[in-house]
C-alpha cells in the first residue's frame, strides 16, 4: 500500500501537481506516517461517512462508461 501510494503521488508530482492533502477511507490510517514523510496530510473519512466530491466523481465516471458501452 505504501509503495502504490508513493507511486501514484510521484506520477501526479511529475505532471506538475502538488499533493498536499489526501482524503481516504479509514483503512489507509496505517500509512499516515508514510504520507507525512512525503509532506501529504491525511484526512480520513469516518465510518459510514461519504465524501461528496468523490462520490459525485464516481457517479460521473460510471455514467460515462455506460454511455460509451
Question: What gap in Å lies between CA 54 and CA 16, rounded to an integer?
Answer: 21
- Upper half-sphere CA count for residue 59 (Cβ side, 13 Å): 6
pTM for this predicted structure: 0.65
Provide the 10 A C-beta neighbour count for residue 31.
Answer: 20
Task: Supply the pLDDT for residue 17.
Answer: 94
pLDDT tens string, the chain, 69 residues long: the values are 889 999 999 999 999 999 999 888 888 889 999 999 999 999 887 777 777 777 888 899 999 999 999
pLDDT for the residue numbered 32: 92
- Cell numbers 455514467 label which residue? 63
Q: How many other CB atoms are found less than 10 A from the CB of residue 50?
A: 11
Q: How many CB atoms lie within 10 A of CB 35?
A: 20
Amino acid at each position: 500500500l505504501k509503495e502504490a501510494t508513493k507511486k501514484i503521488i510521484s506520477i501526479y508530482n511529475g505532471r506538475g501537481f502538488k499533493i498536499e492533502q489526501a482524503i481516504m477511507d479509514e483503512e489507509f490510517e496505517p500509512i499516515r506516517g508514510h504520507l507525512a514523510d512525503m509532506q501529504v496530510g491525511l484526512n480520513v473519512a469516518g465510518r459510514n461517512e461519504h465524501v461528496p466530491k468523490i462520490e459525485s466523481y464516481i457517479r460521473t465516471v460510471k455514467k460515462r462508461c455506460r454511455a460509451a458501452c
